[in-house]
Amino acid sequence: MPMSLGDFVAQARSRIQEIAPDELDRLLEDNEAVLIVDIREPAEFEGGHIPGATLIPRGTLEQAADPKSPHRVEPLCSAQGRRVVLYCESGTRSALAADTLQQMGFTEVASLAGGCVLWEAEGLVLVGR
């Protein structure tokens, strides 16, 4: 039987770490060294994003993370040993992306549980909204 999106996400979530919005907010307040990556599309990012986030759309993630790629994004491709938190609107795309980065050798990657929806529901700031 073919797999559904839900199947892929469930498998990814079984292999990754998720971080709660309040925990990420605490890391940011404590000035912890964390790279925040928004994997949504540019229009979504412009509509509101977590302060300090770097935009790397999901469709370009592997290229951006590969140090040998001509399309690499330095803050990400040089962060394999750093804490990296990925987020999207609801936490689905970021769970898949976190799983991919782990397969690429990233050791401290996490997905923001609930994405922007939960971040905003908890009263946390999104730049641009």
Q: Which residues are designated catalytic?
A: 88
Read off the amino acid at residue 3.
Answer: M
Radius of gyration of the chain (CA): 14
CA dist 118 to 40, 47, 73, 89, Å? 15, 16, 27, 9
By the 10 Å C-beta count (0-12 exposed, 13-18 middle, 19+ buried), 14 is classed as: exposed
74 burial level (CB within 10 Å; 0-12, 13-18, 19+): exposed
